[in-house]
């Protein structure tokens, strides 16, 4: 199938509209599903020209909110309401007037005449007007202001959400009203701790599933790159630097690992040229990266998060690139059961081609570049789920650098991107990974895949013309098995030019219900499902 993937969303739905529900959406799915992503990539300027953002990651931020309401009686139907909002009105207005996107981007090339040298801090500290922040959410993030802004916040809202933040791979956060999605403030990681003054971070922080404490790193690029791995306490709001790492290359890193006692930062093969100094004149991440160098191993830093002893072990592995870690945990070592191994799953690429594939020119079905990545030709930009073992973490400081062991790699044909799981099992052994796959049937993701890490088999959901987004797992509170629950995925029906919220039984990927829209949700990145009483986890 070759379908038209839509990257331009409809106008905002600033007032909620009720969607048409068919099938049976279970009552336990009630709550709020937030989704991030770019809502469009073009602006008609005052001069009559059209500005086009060139990379999917630089599309104009739009946030979507699906409110799922449980039926009031057993015979009634679950209701779904939808509202959305572009959160970069000022940026779009500035582009309309000036004809250009000024400021730091992911892949947008800048006119050389506009290149200018600034201090990193000023370049990466956009004014609210320019901050295109649209990748992940943090809900009730500890350590940042929680002043109530919405009249319904706190007491009146069913979800009880106090603050809603959107994040990206820079250290800026944008605060939104949890209901209207209106931008209402900005923050930096320096608001958490004055030493977090670096420009870069991971869009995907990780939360302790029990305490709600949040973990991430801050990267200060330059001649001597410095990673500061930090922890924000959910109970006190205090931020603590767990480790300062100065013996690693500066790299574009989108996520990290958490285990019961450790944070694991893997510095993989997306290294910035000149230690990151090239960011200054390129003003975008993609053009500041070197190609993956097969001679440089990826380096894994294991950081103690319980006892204040910093980096306790380091490992090298064969080189790879990754956006998304999946899960990690500790278990008795395979060679000495009195010692500890860390097992870490991620979605790995052989090189950094995927970053270039995601230019709009390569993923829009109507563009000539899309042919370069269709079918087998796209394999260089397809990932594989890989499991790594970091053996005997207690021994490694004495013996120097350890070797990370590749336990297994799933075939690319059954692997996924935008990986999710039953987040109750984060930091613990688990079985099932959910995600979307690019099988080559279209120019983009065309399938939802469930991968069984025990049997190494997968099951799929794929239909002609349907482009699914990241599937979010919602557990059945009465379930005993890891996969008892539903998956929520926003799907574009390319044959109708409309989107819908798809609800699948996570055990067999059979549809149990959907909420149909009269509009398009442009293909986006990530989401969180929140209900009253849930923990507010970053992942
Ligand atoms: Fe991501």
Query: What is the rounded average pLDDT of the residues 310-332?
Result: 97
| 314 Cα: distance to centroid of ligand 1 (angstroms) | 25
Q: Given strand 136-139, what is the order of strands in its sheet?
A: 136-139, 164-167, 172-176, 183-188
**Distance from Cα 168 to the centre of ligand 1, integer Å:** 9
Measure 206 CA to ligand 1 centroid, in angstroms: 12
Summarize the confidence of residues 466-475 as an average pLDDT: 96
Q: What is the pLDDT of residues 372-430, one digit of tens each?
A: 776 666 788 899 999 999 999 998 777 789 999 999 999 999 999 999 999 999 999 99
Q: Report CA(419)–ligand 1 centroid distance (Å).
A: 9
Question: Pick the residue with more confidence: 79 or 110?
Answer: 79
Contacts of 398 (CB under 8 A, 6+ apart): none
CA of 243 to the centre of ligand 1 (A): 24
For residue 367, pLDDT over 70 is answered with no
Q: What's the 165 CA to ligand 1 centre distance in angstroms?
A: 15
Give the Å distance between the CA of 337 and the centre of ligand 1.
35
Instruction: Give the Å distance between the CA of 102 and the centre of ligand 1.
Output: 24
CA of 254 to the centre of ligand 1 (A): 6
Q: How many A from CA of 153 to the centre of ligand 1?
A: 28
Q: Give tens-digit pLDDT for 14-39.
A: 999 999 999 999 999 999 999 999 98
Read off the pLDDT of residues 509-525 as tens digits, 9 standing for 90 and up: 999 999 999 999 988 99
Neighbours of 90 (CB within 10 A): 14
**What single DSSP character describes residue 355?**
H
Would you state the pLDDT for residue 516?
Answer: 98
Number of Cβ within a 10 Å radius of residue 11: 11
Tell how far the Cα of 538 is from the centroid of ligand 1, in angstroms. Answer: 12
Q: What is the pLDDT of residue 150?
A: 44
- Mean pLDDT on 280-303: 90
* Residue 488 pLDDT > 90: yes
Q: How far is the CA of 71 from the centre of ligand 1 (A)?
A: 33
Distance 135 CA to ligand 1 centre (A): 7
Question: Is residue 239 very low, low, confident or very high in pLDDT (cuts 50, 70, 90)?
Answer: very high
The percentage of residues in the chain with a pLDDT greater than 70, rounded to a whole number, is 88
Confidence category of residue 117, pLDDT binned at 50, 70, 90? very low
Listed residue (172, 165, 352) closest to 273, CA to CA = 352
Q: 42: pLDDT confidence band, cut at 50, 70 and 90?
A: confident
**Pairwise pLDDT comparison (4 vs 224), residue with the higher score:** 224
Q: How far apart, in Å, are the Cα atoms of 145 and each of 175, 186, 510?
A: 10, 10, 42
CA of 169 to the centre of ligand 1 (A): 9
> Rounded to the nearest whole angstrom, what is the distance from the C-alpha of residue 323 to the centroid of ligand 1?
6
Segment 502-511 mean pLDDT: 98
Cα 217 from chain centre: 15
CA–centroid distance, residue 375 to ligand 1 (Å): 24
Q: How many whole angstroms separate alpha carbon 371 and alpha carbon 233?
A: 48
Give residue 111 CA to ligand 1 midpoint distance, Å. 28
């Amino acid at each position: 199938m070759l379908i038209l993937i839509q990257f331009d969303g409809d106008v905002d739905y600033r007032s909620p509209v009720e969607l048409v529900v068919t099938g049976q959406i279970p009552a336990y799915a009630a709550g709020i599903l937030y989704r991030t992503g770019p809502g469009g990539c073009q602006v008609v300027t005052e001069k009559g020209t059209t500005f086009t953002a060139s990379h999917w990651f630089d599309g104009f931020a739009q946030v979507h909110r699906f409110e799922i309401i449980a039926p009031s009686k057993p015979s009634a139907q679950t209701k779904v309401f939808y509202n959305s909002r572009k959160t970069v009105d000022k940026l779009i207005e500035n582009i309309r007037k000036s004809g250009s996107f000024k400021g730091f981007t992911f892949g947008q090339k800048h006119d050389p005449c506009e290149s200018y040298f600034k201090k990193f801090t000023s370049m990466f500290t956009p004014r609210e007007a320019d901050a295109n922040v649209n990748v992940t959410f943090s809900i009730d993030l500890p350590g940042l202001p929680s002043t109530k802004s919405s009249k319904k916040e706190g007491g009146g809202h069913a979800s009880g959400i106090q603050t809603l933040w959107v994040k990206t791979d820079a250290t800026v956060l944008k605060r939104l009203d949890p209901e209207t999605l209106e931008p209402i403030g900005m923050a930096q990681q320096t608001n958490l701790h004055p030493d977090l003054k670096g420009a870069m971070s991971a869009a995907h922080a990780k939360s302790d599933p029990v305490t709600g404490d949040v973990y991430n790193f801050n990267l200060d690029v330059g001649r001597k790159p410095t990673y500061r791995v930090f922890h924000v306490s959910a109970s006190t709001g205090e931020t603590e630097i767990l480790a300062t790492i100065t013996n690693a290359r500066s790299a574009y890193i989108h996520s990290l690992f958490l285990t019961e006692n450790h944070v694991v930062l893997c510095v993989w093969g997306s290294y910035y040229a000149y230690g990151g100094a090239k960011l200054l004149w390129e003003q975008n991440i993609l053009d500041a990266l070197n190609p993956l160098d097969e001679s440089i191993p990826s380096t894994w830093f294991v950081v103690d998060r319980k006892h204040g002893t910093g980096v306790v072990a380091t490992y090298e592995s064969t080189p790879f690139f990754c956006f998304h870690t999946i899960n990690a945990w500790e278990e008795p070592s395979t060679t000495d059961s009195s010692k500890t191994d860390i097992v870490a799953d991620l979605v790995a690429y052989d090189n950094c081609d995927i970053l270039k594939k995601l230019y709009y020119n390569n993923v829009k079905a109507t563009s000539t570049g899309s042919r370069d990545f269709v079918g087998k030709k796209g394999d260089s930009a397809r990932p594989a789920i890989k499991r790594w073992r970091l053996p005997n973490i207690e021994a490694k400081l004495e013996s120097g650098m350890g070797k990370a062991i590749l336990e297994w790699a799933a075939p690319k044909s059954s692997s996924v991107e935008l990986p999710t799981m039953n987040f109750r099992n984060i930091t613990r052994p688990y079985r099932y990974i959910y995600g979307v796959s690019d099988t080559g049937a279209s120019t983009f993701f065309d399938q939802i895949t469930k991968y069984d890490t025990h049997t190494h088999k997968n099951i799929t959901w794929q239909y002609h013309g349907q482009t699914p987004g990241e599937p979010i797992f919602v557990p059945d509170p009465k379930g005993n098995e890891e996969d008892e629950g539903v998956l929520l995925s926003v799907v574009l029906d390319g044959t109708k030019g409309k989107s819908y919220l798809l609800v699948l039984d996570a055990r067999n990927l059979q549809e149990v219900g959907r909420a149909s829209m009269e509009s398009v949700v442009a293909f986006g990145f990530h989401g969180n499902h929140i209900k009253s009483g849930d923990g507010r986890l970053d992942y």
